Structure 1
Amino acid sequence: MKKQLLCTSAIALGVAAAPASAQDWNLDWGGFFQQHIAYADVGGTGVGASDFDGIQMLTNAEIIFTPNITLDNGMTFGINVQMEALNGGGGTDGIDESYMSISSDTFGRIDAGYENSAGYKMMVGAPQVGSMAINSPSASAFIPFDGAYDGGGGGNFRQAGLSSYTEVAGNNDVARISYYTPSFSGFTAGISYAPSGAGNAQNIFPVDRNVGLVDIFDLGVNYSQSFGTTDITLAARWGTGDLQGAGSDPETWGVGFQVGFSGFTFGASYAENSNPGNFDEEGYSVGVAYDAAGPWTFGLEAYLGEIEDGSAVTHDDYEFYKLAANRDLGPGVSWTTYLLYGETTDGPTGSSIDGTAIGTAINLSF
């Protein structure tokens, strides 16, 4: 299948010793723009007096700045700043991620700044065809989630109840430093540390280690290799942090794989979040994609998640399914059509919202 890459101390390396006078900065930039339109039919007891039936629209777009320079010693220095193309996106001022990278073929890579963890970035799951993700909260743009599906009021963004791409207690794009090893015969490892779980692409200082989620560690491993006509990718991650005032520490872990041959790609993932207060989450993705001869790719995918409080009182469920086709129209231009079905249920009340959406999108990547 057509593949897309999702997208410590440097002083000790002596990287500043070589002059940079012979090089010029590559003032690179790019981004993406996805425009969706869908017809939705939504029902269930959780809808109440609302009416979500009819045509809905979703825009997902970013401008990404990636200037970089490679010195005579082979070290590359660069930044990645991702600006949301809509008001209210990313952080307070619309910046999603902002970090510096230092890398070389022999050293590996350091990322320092506001970014997701190594565990998050190295995970893999069911193949996604087209631009509408169900291994994430994105589908709620057309089929809203039941208001009670929230982990007891704590939310579950970046947690396994909604996605196998998890973070410890759902922290996201906080100040973090990560190191990734070079690839050794397809094997790569990464480790991350974040002083605090607060601050989405914004400075929070100094960190008070008596408040909130602090000292977050994440580990990730990824193995990707080809054997003849078969491509294999395996991934695993684990992370933990210290939540002040809680009786236990939050944790997350997950595993995933993809196997591709003869135009087919099969994949799956499983993840868990253990949170103090016993609101634990788990979920898994499973799916298959087929890269047909010519410009078309087809896919069938599912994500199922749940939230438990350790008793019979709360058992919230999430299930979404997607059938999709994607056609390449030209360099950086594709067209996606999809059929979605989704349902979220609140266990204690029995409240639920379910719906079906038929959608299409034009995707631009530049």
Structure 2
Amino acid sequence: MKKTLLGTTALVTAGLLAGPALASDPLKVTVGGNVVTGFYFVDADNVNGYSFQDTKVAVVARNIDVKAEGTLDNGLVAGVDAKLMLSNDWNSTNESWASFRQLFAYLEGGFGKFEIGGTDGAAYKMHYTSPWFVPGNGVDSPNIYNGVSDKYWNEPYATSPEVRLSTFSLMATDANKISYFTPRLAGFQLGVSYTPDASNNNPKANGLWLQPSLTGWDRNIQDVFEIAANYAGTFGGVDVGVDGFYTGGDSSRPDVSPEEYGFGANLGYAGFTLGGAWYQSNDLDYKRGVSSARADVGAQVWTIGLKYATGPWTVGAAYIDAQDDSASYRGRDGRESQTVQVGGGYNLGSGVDIGLDLQWASNQHNDTWNSTSYDTTSGGLVLAIAF
């Protein structure tokens, strides 16, 4: 990945650092990012009683990453990591905008690593899952998803998937938090995170004033605690990675306690990587990228995949299955989603990858009032560039 090195003057001008200079050398700043694009043909069946064929151009993972890092005279490593996101998939105003999706500082040494600011927590960062083999896309937390559901506001593509397609802990993702990661000892590492308010990832939470959760409203999540552990090692030429995590939070209602837990594993040998994960959530609703506490709402997700990499080539296949565990009176009881992905990619060099992405997606409504299946077959060419 090619990086652009900036001078200290540019850093200060950008406003990323302030205060007196240290005796150590100035922190070095790099600017990078990534963009994933794709052109797809989609064949959909049984969407409000009809089938259709369509084309789709996807532009996702629109990130500009600014990082500053340096080693101090005392041997500690200090840094700042800022991720600038350009618009998002839910922008309906047809306006261009940019905002820092993540912004945090860290300090690392023999004691381990501390992070403080808006970023993902320990449960997210230490998780293993099914491998990605298509450039910039996979079945677990996909960047590009071509499944459909019930027709919504006269559009064939609804707000699907209606069941979350992720085994990662997302309760406090990107929210302002403090995290600690132990040093890795004999392959083992432990991480913990604390988030005072899972909604505090906006300017109001960045020192301007405190905005407490609304009393009597169950959807706000606060006091989120994450604990995760993983192992990374090699046995007889086989690379092994295993993790487990738990995330729990509070809401304004004492009878609503959102929580997530799961585990994942990867095995690597002679270019092959076999990976999978399992996830469960309770009293937690996750839709359109926002987590909210909600009584008797949950999901169960599992995934498995296999990839093979040799030289610039990568190929693979993966599967994910998601089940809505919400109570029937919530109106989404028994909804399911499955996705099969087959494809691969070729690295052209300098962070440029092209690939083929084939997806078979299905969403089912198993409610007594709406028992329907929505199926799609899609194929596309992907161009992913990291810089």
Place the TM-score, normalised by the shorter chain, in its bin: 0.7 to 0.9
Moved more, 231-240 or 31-40: 31-40
Residue in 1 aligned with 2:105?
A: 100
Residue in 1 aligned with 2:251?
A: 243
In 1, the alpha carbon distance for the partners of 2:375 and 2:160 equals 19
Choose the corresponding residue for 1:254, options 248, 262, 273: 262
1:281 alignment partner AA: A
The percent of aligned pairs where both chains have the same amino acid is 22
Question: Per-residue deviation at 1:309?
Answer: 2.2
Residue in 2 aligned with 1:129?
A: 133
1:40 alignment partner AA: V
Native 8 Å contact 2:27 2:79 kept in 1 = no
Note the 1:90-239 alignment, pairs <5 A. Answer: 93-104=98-109, 106-130=110-134, 131-140=136-145, 142-146=146-150, 161-168=164-171, 171-204=172-205, 205-208=209-212, 210=215, 212-239=220-247
Note the 1:289-304 alignment, pairs <5 A. Answer: 289-292=307-310, 294-304=311-321
Q: Measured at CA, do residues 256 and 160 of structure 1 come closer, stay the same or move farther in structure 2, by a change above 3 Å?
A: farther
In the alignment, structure 2 segments of 5+ residues that lack a partner are 1-20, 92-96, 153-158, 284-293
Residue in 1 aligned with 2:382?
A: 361
In 1, the alpha carbon distance for the partners of 2:88 and 2:265 equals 36
Question: Per-residue deviation at 1:108?
Answer: 1.2
Q: Measured at CA, do residues 360 and 254 of structure 1 come closer, stay the same or move farther in structure 2, by a change above 3 Å?
A: same
Question: Per-residue deviation at 1:247?
Answer: 1.0
Q: Compute the TM-score of the two structures, normalised by the length of structure 1.
A: 0.83
In 1, the alpha carbon distance for the partners of 2:183 and 2:362 equals 42
Choose the corresponding residue for 1:337, options 328, 349, 356: 356
Question: Per-residue deviation at 1:145?
Answer: 4.4
In 1, the alpha carbon distance for the partners of 2:378 and 2:254 equals 41
Q: Deviations over 1:247-295 (max 9, x none)?
A: 1311100100000112211111000001142112100010111123x32
RMSD: 2.8
Residue in 2 aligned with 1:38?
A: 40
| Structure number having the greater strand percentage | 2
SS at structure 1 position matched to 2:125: helix
Choose the corresponding residue for 2:29, options 7, 27, 30: 27
In 2, the alpha carbon distance for the partners of 1:113 and 1:238 equals 21
Native 8 Å contact 1:20 1:72 kept in 2 = no
Question: Per-residue deviation at 1:87?
Answer: 5.9
1:121 alignment partner AA: K
Native 8 Å contact 2:147 2:363 kept in 1 = no
In 2, the alpha carbon distance for the partners of 1:289 and 1:326 equals 11
1:129 alignment partner AA: F
Q: Compute the TM-score of the two structures, normalised by the length of structure 2.
A: 0.79
Q: Measured at CA, do residues 215 and 147 of structure 1 come closer, stay the same or move farther in structure 2, by a change above 3 Å?
A: farther
Choose the corresponding residue for 2:281, options 268, 273, 288: 273
Matched positions, count: 336
Q: Deviations over 1:189-239 (max 9, x none)?
A: 110000112133443341425462111100111111112421000011101
Q: Measured at CA, do residues 137 and 44 of structure 1 come closer, stay the same or move farther in structure 2, by a change above 3 Å?
A: farther
In 2, the alpha carbon distance for the partners of 1:306 and 1:108 equals 37
Residue in 1 aligned with 2:85?
A: 84
Moved more, 218-227 or 128-137: 128-137
Moved more, 26-35 or 128-137: 128-137
SS at structure 1 position matched to 2:281: strand
Q: Measured at CA, do residues 86 and 109 of structure 1 come closer, stay the same or move farther in structure 2, by a change above 3 Å?
A: same
SS at structure 1 position matched to 2:233: strand
Native 8 Å contact 2:39 2:55 kept in 1 = no
In 2, the alpha carbon distance for the partners of 1:231 and 1:263 equals 10
SS at structure 2 position matched to 1:346: strand
In 2, the alpha carbon distance for the partners of 1:161 and 1:121 equals 18
2:168 alignment partner AA: Y
Native 8 Å contact 1:196 1:207 kept in 2 = no
Native 8 Å contact 1:37 1:58 kept in 2 = no
Native 8 Å contact 2:204 2:211 kept in 1 = no
Question: Per-residue deviation at 1:63?
Answer: 0.8
Choose the corresponding residue for 1:305, options 322, 326, 334: 322
Native 8 Å contact 2:340 2:360 kept in 1 = yes
